[in-house]
Chains A and B, each alone.
Chain A
Amino acid sequence: MVPTRWRKVILDLWMHKARTLLVIAAIGVGVFAVGLVAGGQAILLRELNRGYAATNASSATLTTTPFSSELVARLGRIPGVEAVEGRRRIPAQVEIRPNETRALLITAVADFRAQQLDKIYPIGGAWPQRDGLLIEQLSLEFLNASVGDKISVDLGNGLRKELTITGLVHDANVPNARVTNRAFGYVTIHTLNNLGLGDYFTELRYRAVEADNLSAIYALNDALKSQIERSGHTVFATDTPTPGEHWAQEIIETLVLLFILFGVLIMVLSGFLVVNTITALMAQQIKHIGVMKLVGARRRQIMGMYFVMVAAYGLLAVLLAVPASMLAAQRVVLFATDLLNTQIVNNSVPLYVIGLQVAGGLGIPLAAALWPVINGALITTHKALNSIGIDQSSVGRGFWERLFAQMQQMLPLQRPLLISLRNTIRKKGRLALTLATLILGTALFIAVLSTRASVQQTLDDFLRYHRYDVSVVFARPYRTAQIEPLAQQLPGVVAVESWLTGSARRVFADASTSESVSLVAAPANSAFMDPKLEAGRWLLPTDANTLVVNTDFADAHPDLRLGDEVVLEINGRNHPWQLVGIVPTAAAGPTLYVNYNFYARLARSIGQATTLKVVTAQHDAAHQAEMAARLTGHLESAGIRVSSTRTTEGIRESNQYAFNIIIGFLVLMAVLLATVGSLGLTTTMSINILERIREIGVLRAIGASDNAVRVIVLTEGMTIGLLSWVFGSVTAVPLSQLLSHTVGMALLGIPLNYTFALDWTFIWLVMVILLAAAASLGPAHSASRLTIREVLAYE
């Protein structure tokens, strides 16, 4: 048989189901957030690191003229080189539907089974027996193909081959094809040779023994380069990634930062909520404590009862929230891995996360209960017994009360309204905590959604570089006088512009050069590009050797100031340029912008174009894709070799896709914050009213109509809701700027184009009003159903 005092504890939990649920929800939301945030982060980082380590990342890649495996073996003997591997990459086009092609980057490997560096792994564990094309798992859908399909691959220079997809691989070093707008495929050199493409390599990848030592890697780069050149080859480029960094390092770091930031904030908020709830709970129990002391309860027994009660709330919350958060964390991780292309070998949440949740779920409520419970156990029986339903404890003469008396005189307020306002400020501590929770919750909610809006805005601003629909890239330069009229013949083409694209290197004072960066030469006053300026000015028609760079380039060259002279090596010749402006990066890496006329002369390409930008009659994705295909067909039938086409919507969508994960995460956080805020409002309102059921009874006994009671509680709820909304929205302004700045800097290296989510600010206002109404009318309704006798006998 359960001892009577434990019966009381059980019945308290059971009979006040609404209260029990609220307390459990208050604790649970925090436990859930911790599990989601800490668990998700732990799984993601663990699996990313495992996947990255399993690739055995190369220290650098040297791009050269064709070389044989014999050279590879020789280079492997250079001291300090741990492993070398020759590779070859071929950009190709795959026809996925008639007249619609997609880009495919084919990497050729000497032998899949003997890979040393940047390893790829077969999905399913074994390499296929048959020769053929292997496709990266997240590229298959992009190619609209399936394993076993025979696809037609355009390997450039008009060379078209049929290749069979023999299997899927995982390459942790490439993202989802939808992000890159390009699929990834893998073949052996042997297969290439059978296709008549030769069995040579053009890329040398190696890993240094001191893989973390960048200067050692640079030294080896030089050593390898001179060895390669001594064997009669040319090294075109050396690409040295930051050692130990996953390609998505910045996305990951941003995610982790956001994970931690929001995890901590939600924990603090739900901590407030728990403190509030438990304190109110204990206040309700004071009279019971008095009765129990009256019949001989010892202090230890009372403390025991309430600590067990609070621990029971915590335990129930933990039991519900831990499994739920695990599932949620695993889902969030899956969502992220779809972008980051990580294989989740083990999706278990580490034990320490569960330990943290259990400790928080039990510890915070118990800590919150510590003072009220000890206080309750210490209070004299006399005081406890006399703390009856109508609470007089804080009807004092403080600041608020005086302000209130003033207000009463100045404003012609109605009596019920006065009662509600007085109620609102009666429990100052609780009001303060509730307001703090709600204000912070509101502010973060709006900040998160403003960041989302800013991301959206930034993606839209990207279109300022793409004031056209289709971009046609030619296999070699063509005369503009030939291609422009040709393109314009096609129905649906509204306007065209010929651009030159190329590459350049910056030449430093010591004659060393930077890595190669892309260069865009559009006609002066191009209507197809209207970038926002970060600094300086855009190109003018009168400009000659004038240069505008994007922020990616400016960040890589922090020594450059506006007005500086920059020497660029173009087509092997150096020429000075004057830097006049900086524009935001549109997710395209370091880029230089120059006037077509001057560049064409310098590059000896006067009257020629490598790219044709086309404005079409309609601008939706489907129409753009169709026009791209038709343009290709039309131009090729006239003998023009088109190497690829791109549609603006397609690029925008793939950029969007990369941001989806961050946006998805932000929305998830917004939902959690809204939940905490709603719970805060609901618990406070319900507790406030439950505490005053007796007072409501008295009001009704002296003739207040149900409606008058409703007005009183509703006003109270609205006051709290509106106060928090006003202060929360104001706080959201600096907070959202900070957050968009952080997200922008981390993902794009530029601040996002800040937009305040005014729509969500008002949606939240409506939510707050509805919640306040529901939270206060619910208990008030049950109170009004009690008879006056019941109400007066209430606890």
Chain B
Amino acid sequence: MLKTLFSRNGATTKKGISVINGHTPIHLIEVRQVVKAYHTPVGDFIALNGVNLHIDKGEFVAVVGKSGSGKSTLINMITGIDRPTAGEIYVANHAIHRLGEGPMAEWRGKNVGVIFQFFQLLPMLSCLENVMLPMDFGNMYTPRERKERALHLLEQMQMVEHAYKLPSEVSGGQQQRVAIARALANDPPILAADEPTGNLDSKTADAVFTLFENLVAQGKTILMVTHDGELARRTRRAITIADGQIVDEKIRG
């Protein structure tokens, strides 16, 4: 039963996109020479300056660095939330730097689950409906399966008893778990989290982190920005960003 429930009936990758202009990506995520400049009234500000990064399937990568170093900017490049000024980004066989805003949203809905420090749940929808929303937009699963699946995900996040509450009626840590369930709704291979524990106490943060570890064990690839050195040390791989460049990378066996 679980197998059918978690099989994806609408997510077959479109043909012809997997091989792009002769470049065949080898890794799940490939960031090549990415530059991001912000235009400000006082001139351009280079937030990312020629970043190269490869991440493979099943990796759990922590991104650390001082405030303002470019962590969010980098993760926004990979999730397609923002676009690079120069360089190439391939995620799950898609050249996402070339995707338009519409195809990008569609692609992201199925391939990347995004989690923020501020949970970004829609306030008028119940927790359950927030989790069902990506399936609705992506036209994934049958309408009946959507509810079952959302309840199942909330159960995984230990939130099933709050399913019918509004986000404003549950705590911050609980909202974050709903946000994680939502990120998993379309069973994307990649999760990208920008300071997902930034708003949570250390105990709740720990619980969220444990959830992530379980997801990695199930084969998900996770990219997580964090200020918490403790948590960063618990991932297998940690990259450090300073002034828009990757300056250090630690891999723990």
Question: Considering only CB atoms, which chain B residue lies closest to A2 in the complex?
Answer: B143
Give complex CA distance A290, B120 in Å. 9
Determine if B124 and A8 form an interchain contact, defined as CB atoms under 8 angstroms apart.
Answer: yes
Q: Which of A294, A296, A299 contacts B101 (CB 8 A)?
A: A299
Chain B neighbourhood of A294, CB < 8 A:
81, 105, 108, 114, 120
Determine if B82 and A291 form an interchain contact, defined as CB atoms under 8 angstroms apart.
Answer: no
Chain B neighbourhood of A300, CB < 8 A:
102
Q: How far is the CB of B103 from chain A (nearest CB, A)?
A: 8
Q: How far is the CB of B34 from chain A (nearest CB, A)?
A: 15
Q: Quick check: is A410 within 8 A (CB to CB) of the other chain?
A: no
Q: Which of B106, B136, B182 contacts A5 (CB 8 A)?
A: B136
Q: Quick check: is B83 within 8 A (CB to CB) of the other chain?
A: yes
Q: Quick check: is B70 within 8 A (CB to CB) of the other chain?
A: no
Determine if A296 and B134 form an interchain contact, defined as CB atoms under 8 angstroms apart.
Answer: yes
Chain B neighbourhood of A15, CB < 8 A:
124
Interface of B (DSSP majority class): helix
Give complex CA distance A48, B134 in Å. 61
Chain B neighbourhood of A292, CB < 8 A:
122, 133, 137
Within 8 A of A (CB), among B117-138: 120-125, 129, 132-138
Q: Which of B125, B137, B146, B168 contacts A297 (CB 8 A)?
A: B137
User: Interface readout for A293-324 with B: 1 if CB under 8 Å, 0 if not?
Assistant: 11111111100000000000000000000000
Q: Which of A296, A380, A790 contacts B186 (CB 8 A)?
A: A296
Q: Quick check: is B49 within 8 A (CB to CB) of the other chain?
A: no
Determine if A298 and B132 form an interchain contact, defined as CB atoms under 8 angstroms apart.
Answer: no
Q: Which of B109, B124, B143 contacts A295 (CB 8 A)?
A: B109
Given the interface pairs A294-B108, A294-B114, A793-B168, the reply to whether A8 lies near B120 with Cβ below 8 Å is no
Give complex CA distance A239, B138 in Å. 81
Q: How far is the CB of B201 from chain A (nearest CB, A)?
A: 16
Question: Considering only CB atoms, which chain A residue lies closest to B124 in the complex?
Answer: A11
Within 8 A of A (CB), among B45-96: 76, 80-83
Q: Quick check: is A619 within 8 A (CB to CB) of the other chain?
A: no
Given the interface pairs A5-B137, A12-B124, A297-B137, the reply to whether A382 lies near B106 with Cβ below 8 Å is no
Interface of A (DSSP majority class): helix
Given the interface pairs A8-B122, A293-B105, the reply to whether A382 lies near B81 with Cβ below 8 Å is yes
Given the interface pairs A4-B136, A301-B137, A382-B82, the reply to whether A296 lies near B108 with Cβ below 8 Å is yes
Give complex CA distance A299, B143 in Å. 21
Q: Quick check: is B220 within 8 A (CB to CB) of the other chain?
A: no
Chain B neighbourhood of A12, CB < 8 A:
124
Q: Which of A3, A382, A790 contacts B136 (CB 8 A)?
A: A3
User: Interface readout for B206-237 with A: 1 if CB under 8 Å, 0 if not?
Assistant: 00000000000000000000000000000000
Within 8 A of A (CB), among B143-161: 143-144, 146-147
Give complex CA distance A11, B185 in Å. 22
Q: Quick check: is A534 within 8 A (CB to CB) of the other chain?
A: no
Q: How many positions in chain B have a CB within 8 Å of any CB in the partner chain?
A: 37
Q: Which of A4, A296, A299, A378 contacts B110 (CB 8 A)?
A: A296
Chain A neighbourhood of B147, CB < 8 A:
1
Q: Quick check: is A385 within 8 A (CB to CB) of the other chain?
A: yes
Determine if A298 and B102 form an interchain contact, defined as CB atoms under 8 angstroms apart.
Answer: yes
Given the interface pairs A296-B186, A380-B83, A381-B81, the reply to whether A4 lies near B133 with Cβ below 8 Å is yes
Given the interface pairs A292-B137, A295-B182, the reply to whether A795 lies near B123 with Cβ below 8 Å is yes
Determine if B105 and A299 form an interchain contact, defined as CB atoms under 8 angstroms apart.
Answer: yes
Q: Quick check: is A7 within 8 A (CB to CB) of the other chain?
A: yes
Between B106, B114, B137, B185, the greatest number of chain A beta carbons within 10 A of the residue's beta carbon is seen for: B137
Chain B neighbourhood of A378, CB < 8 A:
101
Determine if B82 and A380 form an interchain contact, defined as CB atoms under 8 angstroms apart.
Answer: yes
Give complex CA distance A1, B108 in Å. 26
Q: Quick check: is A288 within 8 A (CB to CB) of the other chain?
A: yes
Give complex CA distance A382, B120 in Å. 13
Question: Considering only CB atoms, which chain A residue lies closest to B150 in the complex?
Answer: A4
Given the interface pairs A4-B133, A292-B137, the reply to whether A298 lies near B124 with Cβ below 8 Å is no
Q: How far is the CB of B240 from chain A (nearest CB, A)?
A: 24
Determine if B133 and A5 form an interchain contact, defined as CB atoms under 8 angstroms apart.
Answer: yes
Chain A neighbourhood of B136, CB < 8 A:
3-5
Chain B neighbourhood of A385, CB < 8 A:
81, 116, 120
Chain A neighbourhood of B125, CB < 8 A:
4, 7-8, 11
Determine if B105 and A296 form an interchain contact, defined as CB atoms under 8 angstroms apart.
Answer: yes
Q: How far is the CB of B151 from chain A (nearest CB, A)?
A: 13
Determine if A295 and B101 form an interchain contact, defined as CB atoms under 8 angstroms apart.
Answer: no
Give complex CA distance A293, B81 in Å. 9
Chain A neighbourhood of B122, CB < 8 A:
8, 288, 291-292
- A-B contact sample (10 more), CB < 8 A, given A5-B137, A380-B81: A3-B136, A4-B132, A5-B136, A291-B120, A296-B105, A297-B105, A298-B102, A298-B106, A301-B137, A795-B123
Interface residue ranges, B against A (CB under 8 Å)? 76, 80-83, 101-102, 104-106, 108-110, 114, 116, 120-125, 129, 132-138, 143-144, 146-147, 168, 182, 185-186
10 cross-chain pairs, A with B, having the tightest CB-CB distances, nearest first: A296-B109, A295-B134, A382-B82, A299-B102, A11-B124, A4-B136, A297-B137, A4-B132, A293-B105, A381-B81
